[in-house]
């Protein structure tokens, strides 16, 4: 198992290197750089002045040199002040070095946010923390409810309970976040007035009033999907020979389900639950913008809309890392839960 984890970590590092290089190349295409220069100067700035801004702020250096500086494997070079001719920081609001030094992602320096006028780390990590709180409450709501629905539906295949819960699960899975979010806002915020249609105040304090709608919107889709997977797994387990043998020995139906069927039925849903993390990253982009909750998704949209190159790169790095690490945890957890699986 240790050898397997080490091999996977090596593969993850190589994958992150390749993906970040592709993202770095796409974000630093010339049209994006010119948009950044325009946003940081004036709309009517001449082409020569825009080019001068890009040169003075280090955006016209060699691609591989800039990528190496961003990673921290190539010394970051200071820019030259056009007025004095002396080395200076790229941006006054960041702690960029004024002499060549290793200062990149590997050293914990994610660059400067041109939109928020601060370091990327000081904006990105609080946003990740806010999204982590949202994800925690989504999982607290989503996982128990979905497992309960799936187990109840799968215990007695074809019953009225099974058909009712299956229809509800399919309906929730077929409803995207931007649709359910609008429906919940209209019903619970506009008509009934029970909940707040904006989660902006949640950054100052989470309450049931301002945090329920985004949690409900994210959880409702995942509940249906996990419930369907749990039901299918439960139905398969309940038809196994050892379940029939346990019933013939005189064990009660509830005892058979709890002691024999439940653990094996939860192996597949565990993998599905772990794979919800990459989906949640996509879902939070829609939900956080819809409810004005200033987390990772909201920050990503703001960075993309304002050509904030370093912040976009930081968001991309975090997204790739979360996807890869959850897949690793899923594979390792599956091997532990299923004794028939052996790591070769």
Task: Please tell me which residue, 2 or 323, carries the higher pLDDT value.
Answer: 323
Instruction: Evaluate the CA torsion angle 255, 256, 261, 263 in order and state its sign.
Output: positive
Whether the CB-CB separation of 218 and 229 falls below 8 Å is answered with: no
Inform me whether the pLDDT recorded for 338 exceeds 70: no
- Confidence at 270, pLDDT banded by 50, 70, 90: confident
pLDDT at residue 135, as a whole number: 87
| % of the chain surpassing 70 pLDDT | 93
Task: Please tell me which residue, 125 or 234, carries the higher pLDDT value.
Answer: 125
Whether the CB-CB separation of 223 and 146 falls below 8 Å is answered with: yes
pLDDT at residue 339, as a whole number: 59
Residue 174, token pair as written in the block: 């077929």
Whether the CB-CB separation of 222 and 265 falls below 8 Å is answered with: no
Residue 36, token pair as written in the block: 């950044």
Residue 146, token pair as written in the block: 């979905």
Inform me whether the pLDDT recorded for 259 exceeds 80: no
pLDDT tens for 307-322 read 888 899 998 888 888 8
- Tell me how far CA of residue 307 lies from CA of 124, 197, 220, 248, 277, in angstroms: 15, 29, 33, 67, 26
**Can you spell out the DSSP letters for 185-223?**
IIIIIIIS--S-S--GGGGT---HHHHHHHHHHHHHHHH
Pairing of strands 79-80, 87-88: antiparallel
User: Residue 244: left if φ>0, alpha if ψ -120 to 50, beta else—which one?
Assistant: alpha
Span of 49-53, 231-235, 331-335 with lowest mean pLDDT: 331-335
**Can you spell out the DSSP letters for 256-323?**
HIIIIIHHHHTHHHHHHHHTHHHHHHHHHHHHHHHTT--SHHHHHHHHHHTT-HHHHHHHHHHHHHHH
Task: Please tell me which residue, 247 or 24, carries the higher pLDDT value.
Answer: 24
* Count of beta carbons in the 10 Å neighbourhood of residue 145: 16
- Confidence at 43, pLDDT banded by 50, 70, 90: low
- Which helix (DSSP H) or strand (DSSP E) does residue 119 occupy? strand 118-119
For 121, residues 6+ apart whose C-beta sits below 8 A from its C-beta are 108, 109, 110, 314
Q: How far apart are CA 18 and CA 270, in angstroms?
A: 29
pLDDT at residue 200, as a whole number: 77
pLDDT at residue 100, as a whole number: 79
Residue 90, token pair as written in the block: 């790229």
Span of 176-180, 213-217, 226-230, 238-242 with lowest mean pLDDT: 238-242
pLDDT tens for 179-214 read 888 888 888 888 888 888 777 777 777 888 888 888
Q: How far apart are CA 21 and CA 233, in angstroms?
A: 40
Report the range out of 233-242, 243-252, 295-304 with the highest average pLDDT.
295-304
Mean pLDDT of the chain: 81
Task: Please tell me which residue, 147 or 81, carries the higher pLDDT value.
Answer: 147
């Amino acid at each position: 198992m240790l050898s397997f984890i080490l091999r996977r970590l090596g593969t993850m590092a190589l994958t992150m290197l390749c993906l970040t290089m592709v993202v770095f190349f796409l974000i630093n295409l010339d049209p994006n750089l010119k948009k950044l220069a325009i946003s940081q100067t004036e709309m009517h700035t001449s082409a020569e002045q825009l080019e001068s801004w890009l040169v003075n702020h280090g955006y016209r250096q060699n691609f591989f040199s800039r990528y190496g500086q961003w990673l921290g494997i190539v010394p970051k070079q200071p820019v030259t002040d056009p007025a004095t001719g002396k080395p200076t920081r790229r941006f006054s609001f960041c702690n960029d070095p004024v002499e060549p030094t290793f200062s990149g992602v590997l050293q914990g320096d994610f660059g400067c946010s041109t939109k928020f006028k601060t370091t990327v780390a000081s904006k990105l990590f609080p946003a990740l923390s806010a999204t982590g709180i949202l994800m925690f409450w989504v999982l607290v709501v989503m996982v128990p409810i979905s497992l309960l629905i799936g187990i109840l539906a799968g215990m007695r295949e074809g019953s009225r309970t099974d058909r009712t819960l299956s229809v509800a699960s399919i309906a929730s899975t077929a409803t995207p976040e931007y649709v359910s979010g609008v429906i919940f806002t209209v019903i619970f915020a506009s008509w009934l007035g029970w909940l707040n249609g904006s989660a902006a105040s949640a950054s100052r304090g989470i309450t049931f009033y301002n945090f329920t709608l985004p949690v409900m919107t994210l959880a409702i889709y995942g509940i249906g999907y996990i419930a369907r997977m749990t039901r299918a797994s439960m139905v398969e387990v309940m038809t196994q020979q050892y379940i029939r043998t346990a019933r013939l020995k005189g064990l009660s139906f509830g005892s058979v389900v709890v002691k024999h069927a439940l653990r094996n039925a939860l192996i597949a849903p565990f993998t599905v639950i772990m794979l919800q993390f990459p989906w949640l990253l996509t879902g939070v982009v829609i939900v956080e913008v819809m409810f004005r909750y200033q987390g990772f998704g909201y920050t990503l949209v703001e960075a993309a809309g304002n050509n904030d190159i370093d912040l976009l790169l930081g968001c991309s790095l975090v997204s790739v890392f979360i996807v890869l690490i959850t897949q690793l945890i899923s594979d390792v957890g599956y091997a532990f839960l299923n004794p028939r699986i052996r790591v070769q």
